[in-house]
Amino acid sequence: MLNISTSHRTMEYEKCHLFHPDASRPAKRRRIHPRGLHASWPIRRHAYREAWRAHHDQITSTLNHINSATVSDISQFLLEAHQLSHHSRIPTCLVLGGPHATLQNQITQQLAKLDSRHGPRLFASLSPASSTNLKATLKNLIQSATARVDGIQDEDDELATTQTKGRKLLNYDLQILADFAHERNVGQVVVAFEGTEAFDSALLSELIEILASWRDRIPFVCLFNVATSVDFLQQRLSTAAVKCLDGRLFDVAPSAEVVEQVFSIVTDPSSLLWLGPNLAGMTLERQSDYIQSIDTLVDAVQYAYMSCYYANALSIFLIPNITIKTIPTDHFQALRTLKSFRNHAQEMLQDQQTEQLRNLLDSDEALLSFAQQKIDEGRQNLVQMMIAIDVIRTIQTSLPNVTASSRSNLYVQAMAGTLDESALLRSLLLSVRKAPSDTSIALMRSLVNLNIPKTRLTECKTITTELEQLLQDQTPGAQPLRSADDVKNSTLRTTVVAQKVELSKQKSSLSKQDAAYTALLRRLSDLLERYFDETFIPISQLPFHEIFIYDSKSPHREVLTPRPRHAIERALATPHDYLDCDCCAPDQTNDAALSATQPATAVLYQLYLESGNLINACDLWLAFSAVMGEELEEEMRMALFQRGLAELRFLGLVKGTRKRVDHIAKVAWKGL
Amino acid sequence: MHTRRKASEAFENEEVLTPHRSKRVQLDINNDDDTILAVPSPSLAADSPSKRKSILRAPGTPSKFNGVIGLDGEATPKSLRKVLFSTPTGKRGVLDKPDLVPDDQGTPVADRNDRSARKKSRQALRIQPLMDEESDGDDAVDEAIAREILEDEEVSDSQDETAADTIEVAAAPDTPSKAPRARGRPKGSKNRARTPTPPPEDLPPHELFFFQNRPGTNKTSAHTLPPNALLNHETYFSKIQECLDGHAEDAERLTRIHARGFEQWAFELDEGFNICLYGYGSKRELALSFAEYLHTQGDESKNAAPKIVVVNGYAPGLTLRDILTTLATAALPKNVPLPAQPAAISELVLSVLTVKPPAQPIYLFINSLDHVSLRKPASIALLARLACHHSISLVATCDSPSFPLLFSTSLAQQFRFAYHDATTFAPYTAELEVVEDVNVLLGRSARRLGGKDGVIFVLRSLPENARSLYKLLVEAQLALGDIVPTLGFAFGGANDDDDEDMIGTEDEDAAMNATPSRKPRRGRPAKNQKATLSKKAAASSPPEGVEYRTLYHQAVEQFVCSSEVGFRTLLKEFHDHRMVESRVDATGTERLLVPFAREELEALLEEDGGL
């Protein structure tokens, strides 16, 4: 009775309702005007929109075009399918998407956008989750095909009249779809199977046979999204079903490729904000470790942009051509406290540039232009880094027996500062030294063709021309020049001198030209080494790197990859972590002591943790009651106990058991 | 372990069936002869291992076997306790101590030698009539025995397990080493064998899972909550409202911290993310204050408050249709006819939103998105479809720790959640039906209609004469209850007062409910129930419940019904809702009984009067 009387007031027992602010509460109309660094948020928000929109547009257009070839192929196939007789097999597209086959939706969407010359096209997509049996599947198919009437909306009224005068059909009767298609002069009904592998084989076979039998009345076309292989699909289908299909294969871009493309957009030279190594590493790892669509990556990048512009007030300095009037003064103060700025100030002091430093500390204007200049320089550094990464990849592709590392992978390493002096780089330079002239000339030419603006690699050009001259001197058709550093080109000799074995390397039959070539190669590799050394500088040395490189895992990880189970277990096992109260603070002696001050459910949960997989409710009650102490009267303790038990059940930590009377079963083990 | 325990149980059963029983009972009553007999046996056994084996193997000599344990129990009473409380339940065992320490003084030694709880309770029952004859209804003695039995049951239960262990130790093949050693078992050796290995510390969670789930180690005591221990709705609510939360301030601070994130959340919603709040504690209030925040924000910036739909996923009987129709009222102009199918409504809503996107998105708040009622794949898929529309911003709260498993990759992609840990420590007042949930959890009165409130609820939906009949029945039963005590004194046999009677009936209910291990207070075995029942019926002649005939005649007199068929029809409704139970007493007359305690019956009458 009590519940019902309160429910009218608070709506908490209502199923759904429109929200109206509680009139009884004092109107909270006072809008707190942001103070401090947060005052610049509206400006930053605008800046965020600009910055992200540039990327976003680029990403969407890339994603739209990444499979445009496939989509146009498929649409061509669909057009051809019109010419087939109605008694032929069902034309079928087998789209090989690989394990990350969630792109399917995009292809279907893109297909839906394309016009058809032969009357409107209906799309029905079937998901394995809602296709438990044939009836349900057919029902879904009909609903999904007839529901999407975006293109042909104005005929709604007509539809209603024809349906009312028609026969009453069961909702899984394909006749409904046939009538629908006939009325609208539908050219094709495309049935897309999402995640073909997850369908029950018998169901799938049966469904295909039924579709085939209706093909003379409904122009079906099937679209299978295959993650494994066509052979596997064929094995799973019955012979009769296979005979009904007339398939053609279509490939979509592998997901790793898509990730790289998106990533290269994110690291575009015009980027205002760059992702730091930790964040980028984490995101990319997640993308490759789990089956996820590309949207996850895009979301992650967007969220990084959002957090940076939202939480980092200094991101206001990222705005190109910002004037001093728009920046609140306290932001300059904050800028001066940056660690990288302080380090830089120290350096300036050591260089005796006291006056400039004084100026920077006193004048906001000077600081602004300085910061803008340094941020620009820093970004340029990163752009150079990306170019150096391209250089590495070019070398890798030119050398035989070396697989090219992915751009994103190299980026993470370069940003983290581990690429310079890494094993990868050293072995790469070694192989450059060993390369024969035909490989190296190709390598050098492609390096020159990279057309790196004002880079430190200008010497590369001279080396290339020298090598070309060297090669011209060679007789045509002769063996390519060999490098003296290659072990293959020297023989080991063992000689016994005074009862000692002496190993000596013999440069076997290396010509003068070979020697000259070796010298050239050494020059090249030294040049490259120097170049990498200069380019891959640790990002922490860049002044104001906190502003244009965003590298915080913190909100990112919690927001995109939550650990709710951990959170709940922690809240119950150590409520102090959340409540931060004085009463439940853990002692130094034993860190997790039960005490009556803890919330009742937390006490109960900790008792629960100590017990085995079956718990006697009576014993649990006695223990709980003892922990809570005599200060509370028994009924109160019982009320708390009951609430705690109900909450544990609600959270899915315990369930009832029939094994023993008054026992409950433990369901969740902490920390699993 | 499993088989061993079974063996010991079988052994017990055998014992129970042996014809020795009566003799042994006499022994028990007479005196300690048995123990004297038993004392030398272990030493004998120790002398010659072969003999010992034969003793242990001979199932026909239970007395000796029992003697072995009896002695050990006698010699090292301390160890017994240890075993009792070193069950893996840890602290609890220790806490139980004061209640469980066996009362050695009062129990005859041989009695303790009996390992079977059932047997012992039977003995006690047998003693009871004797006592009754001797002392005229001496309640004190009776109670003392009852208490003893209760306590002993607990002790012996764990001793059962102990006994099982002992058998194993003894039956293990003897070590061939003939090294001379002290007679009998070396002190403490048995202790070592008996103590269950303590759970190794710092087991990783998965190891702990296997440790606790290894077969045969479910050692929990057989205690049951007293029938009246759990509070009913009324007491619960009154108590929980009295209860002061010591952490109210801290929880308040937590909420304030969360509230600081509102601006960020609003930003995330604006950017096309949806928000999912998780963590311990009810997040309903937090979500509502966020809704309020959004409401006021909209006021200022765009001159129109945004439309906010709140769905309570925990509300019983919530359907997708409910959600969609409420959403439709927010999204569509008035008087638009809605199609019947949920899918069709959602299509309509989405297409309208696509064609004419509103200036501000519609905020859809779903409390307890992971609630059972919304867990069907179809429901989640539909909600995800709604959520991925850019004119709908979803703010969902999830309570269960593993809710992300509900969302497949493509669903998660559609939901596009930004998750936030919103641990509030607030009680789940609206989400939970605490009393009912606990009853269901413990397998209690799930079959009965949530007590008095439930009965009143049913009565309200019944016709007038049904209500009058129920009232009649309750009144009759109460009246009967008033007579019973006096009658009882007159007969000199009935010492249960009315209240206890009610409890007794409840226990019998439970026993009938195929839960043999749940023992009624008197602790009699199930198969003897009939006999004791009739005995009891003889002793306290008016049994519980109103006679069917009497009630029928009363009903006819009061014009509640005119024929027996009508009477039956009315009763059937009560039976269906388990508001009444019928049973046949010793004399074969059918009796009707309202299965509630006296106080509840009285409260029922009061409420009923107000109907």
Structural domain contains residue A399: no
A650 and A526 within one domain: no
Residue A23 vs residue B396, higher pLDDT = B396
At A119, which CATH number?
A: 3.40.50.300
ipTM: 0.84
User: Residues in chain B, how many?
Assistant: 611
In angstroms, the CA A171 to CA A348 distance is: 80
pLDDT at A127: 80
Proportion of chain B above pLDDT 90, given as a percent = 15
The answer to whether B310 contacts A611, with C-beta atoms less than 8 Å apart, is no
Span B433-453, average pLDDT: 72
Asked if the model's pLDDT at residue B112 lies above 60, the reply is: no
The answer to whether A669 contacts B208, with C-beta atoms less than 8 Å apart, is yes
A634 token code pair:
């028994």
Residue A501's pLDDT band (cuts 50, 70, 90): low
In angstroms, the CA B90 to CA A10 distance is: 43
Option in B326, B400, B515 nearest A651 (CB): B400
- Structural domain including A180 reads 68-252
Q: What is the DSSP letter of A101?
A: G
In angstroms, the CA B386 to CA A456 distance is: 55
Asked if the model's pLDDT at residue A274 lies above 80, the reply is: yes
Look at residues A205, A237, A252 and tell me which one is the last residue of a structural domain.
A252
Span B274-278, average pLDDT: 95
pLDDT at B4: 46
Option in B205, B423, B432 nearest A669 (CB): B205
**CA angle centred on A82, ends A77 and A88, rounded to 5°:** 95
A233 and A163 within one domain: yes
Asked if the model's pLDDT at residue B400 lies above 60, the reply is: yes
Q: Are A581 and B250 in contact (CB under 8 A)?
A: yes
A454: left (phi over 0), alpha (psi -120 to 50) or beta: left
pLDDT at A251: 83
Cβ-based contacts of A650 with chain B (< 8 Å):
399, 428, 431-432, 437
Asked if the model's pLDDT at residue A280 lies above 90, the reply is: yes
pLDDT at B187: 56
Asked if the model's pLDDT at residue A491 lies above 80, the reply is: no
Domain boundaries, chain B: 2-213, 248-421, 451-609
Q: What is the tens place of the pLDDT at every residue in B326-380?
A: 999 888 888 888 888 788 888 889 888 988 888 889 999 999 999 988 988 888 9
Q: Which residues on adjacent β-strands are paired with residue B590?
A: B584
The answer to whether B343 contacts A617, with C-beta atoms less than 8 Å apart, is no
pLDDT at B259: 92
Give B13's contacts (C-beta < 8 A, 6+ positions apart).
none
Structural domain contains residue A133: yes
Span B237-250, average pLDDT: 86
Look at residues A223, A252, A281 and tell me which one is the last residue of a structural domain.
A252
Look up residue A628 and give its amino acid. M
Compute the nearest-CA separation of A276 from chain B (Å). 21
Tell me which chain B residue has its CA closest to the CA of residue A310.
B264
A137 and A245 within one domain: yes
The answer to whether A617 contacts B225, with C-beta atoms less than 8 Å apart, is yes
Give A135's contacts (C-beta < 8 A, 6+ positions apart).
A172
Q: What is the tens place of the pLDDT at every residue in A330-355?
A: 899 999 999 999 999 999 999 998 99
The answer to whether A611 contacts B92, with C-beta atoms less than 8 Å apart, is yes
Span B277-292, average pLDDT: 92
Nearest alpha carbon to residue A616 among B222, B471, B523: B222
pLDDT at A300: 93
The answer to whether B432 contacts A565, with C-beta atoms less than 8 Å apart, is no
Compute the nearest-CA separation of B95 from chain A (Å). 6
Q: What is the tens place of the pLDDT at every residue in B483-526?
A: 654 443 333 333 333 333 333 333 334 334 433 443 344 444 44
pLDDT at A46: 92
Span A5-26, average pLDDT: 63
Cβ-based contacts of A32 with chain B (< 8 Å):
none
Asked if the model's pLDDT at residue A204 lies above 80, the reply is: yes
A232 and A170 within one domain: yes
Residue A520, SS3 per DSSP? helix
A208 and A151 within one domain: yes
The answer to whether B267 contacts A129, with C-beta atoms less than 8 Å apart, is no
The H-or-E segment that residue A193 falls in is strand A188-193
Neighbours of B141 (CB within 10 A): 15
Residue B599's pLDDT band (cuts 50, 70, 90): confident
Residue with tokens 């009232």: B471
Give A485's contacts (C-beta < 8 A, 6+ positions apart).
A430, A433, A434, A518, A521, A522
pLDDT at B595: 77
A164 and A208 within one domain: yes
Residue with tokens 């009923």: B608
Q: What is the DSSP letter of A36?
A: G
Count: domains in chain A:
3
Structural domain contains residue A430: yes
Asked if the model's pLDDT at residue B264 lies above 90, the reply is: yes
Asked if the model's pLDDT at residue A11 lies above 80, the reply is: no
A576 and A511 within one domain: no
Average pLDDT over chain B reads 68
Option in B279, B326, B330 nearest A571 (CB): B279
Q: What is the tens place of the pLDDT at every residue in A382-391?
A: 998 998 898 8
Q: What is the tens place of the pLDDT at every residue in A600-641?
A: 999 999 999 888 888 999 999 999 998 888 888 888 899 999
A242 and A123 within one domain: yes
pLDDT at A160: 43
B69 token code pair:
């344990």
Cβ-based contacts of B223 with chain A (< 8 Å):
616, 618-619, 622, 662
Cβ-based contacts of A302 with chain B (< 8 Å):
271
- Residue of B374, B434, B435, B452 best to disrupt the A interface, most CBs of A under 10 A: B434
Interface contact B219, partner A, CB < 8 A: yes
Structural domain contains residue A107: yes
pLDDT at B287: 93
Residue B182 vs residue A293, higher pLDDT = A293
pLDDT at A88: 77
The answer to whether B239 contacts A645, with C-beta atoms less than 8 Å apart, is no
Long-range contacts of B186-191 (CB under 8 A, 24+ apart): B190/B72, B190/B76, B190/B79, B190/B166, B191/B76, B191/B79, B191/B82
The answer to whether B92 contacts A619, with C-beta atoms less than 8 Å apart, is yes
Residue B170's pLDDT band (cuts 50, 70, 90): very low
DSSP β-ladder status, A614-616 and A500-507 = unpaired
The answer to whether A599 contacts B240, with C-beta atoms less than 8 Å apart, is no
Compute the nearest-CA separation of B337 from chain A (Å). 13
Compute the nearest-CA separation of A662 from chain B (Å). 5
A602 and A530 within one domain: no
Q: Which residues on adjacent β-strands are paired with residue A504?
A: A493
Structural domain contains residue A150: yes
Residue A168 vs residue A651, higher pLDDT = A651
CB contacts < 8 A (A, B): 319
Asked if the model's pLDDT at residue B26 lies above 50, the reply is: no
- Residue of B85, B89, B96 best to disrupt the A interface, most CBs of A under 10 A: B89
The answer to whether B220 contacts A614, with C-beta atoms less than 8 Å apart, is yes
Residue B77's pLDDT band (cuts 50, 70, 90): very low
Tell me which chain B residue has its CA closest to the CA of residue A136.
B378
In angstroms, the CA B408 to CA B406 distance is: 7
pLDDT at B537: 41
Structural domain contains residue A139: yes
The answer to whether B209 contacts A615, with C-beta atoms less than 8 Å apart, is no
pLDDT at B141: 55
Compute the nearest-CA separation of B508 from chain A (Å). 14
Residue B421 vs residue A291, higher pLDDT = B421
**Architecture of the structural domain at B248-421:** 3-Layer(aba) Sandwich (3.40)
Residue B540's pLDDT band (cuts 50, 70, 90): very low
A358 token code pair:
């004084």
Cβ-based contacts of B403 with chain A (< 8 Å):
564
pLDDT at A109: 73
